[in-house]
Amino acid sequence: MRALVRDGYGGPEVLRVDEVPDPSPGPGEVIVRVRASSLNMADLDVLFGRPRIARAYYGMSAPKFPGLGVDLAGEVVETGSGVQDLRPRDRVWADLFSYGHSALAERVVVPATALRRIPDGVHRLDAAPEMLARMAAGAARGKIVIEP
């Protein structure tokens, strides 16, 4: 499987498309085929390793997580044990900020609790950036809104 990866902090010059092992789901996890992803300021901050204090979490001299990409929209491929409410071919989106920043890959393993169904009528190319933007706007107003 192909994924965008990096070994260090920096600009686009540290990025490469590489073959990585296919993910497999553990208990409570889901494999998602990524159909769309978006880039935002969080991705750039993780790429450059800023602010420097964030490296305490991401890795001081090199990133703990080689992947990049926070927002994704895709479809469920496989579920691990204990996942009851998602099935193969379900359309889903996720914000991977707390789950390894690996949306820029063909497939990714995601905790089922991090996934949300894409509402009917929302195209997958709109889902990844739209849903995160709605969450940010909702949080600014003091509530989360994810209805189309």
Residue 147 included in any domain: no
β-partners of residue 105 are: 3
Residue range of the domain that includes 55? 2-141
Residue 63 included in any domain: yes
Residue 95 is predicted with a pLDDT of 86
| Res. 146: pLDDT tops 80 | no
Residue 148 included in any domain: no
Q: How far apart are the first and last CA of the chain?
A: 33
Predicted TM-score (pTM) above 0.75: yes
pLDDT category at 25 given cuts 50, 70, 90 is very high
Residue 133 is predicted with a pLDDT of 61
| Overall domain count for the chain | 1
Residue 109 included in any domain: yes
Average pLDDT, the chain: 86
**For residue range 26-76, what is the model confidence (pLDDT) as tens digits?**
999 999 999 988 888 888 888 999 999 989 888 899 998 899 998 899 999
Rounded-to-integer distance, Cα 30 and Cα 33, Å: 10
Residue 71 included in any domain: yes
Q: How many CB atoms lie within 10 A of CB 70?
A: 26
Which class for 55: exposed (0-12), middle (13-18), buried (19 or more C-beta within 10 A)?
Answer: middle
Residue 70 included in any domain: yes
Give the domain CATH number at 129: 3.90.180.10
Residue 50 included in any domain: yes
Residue 40 is predicted with a pLDDT of 80
* DSSP letter for each residue of 58-92: H-SSS-S--B--SEEEEEEEEE-TT--S--TT-EE
Residue 12 included in any domain: yes
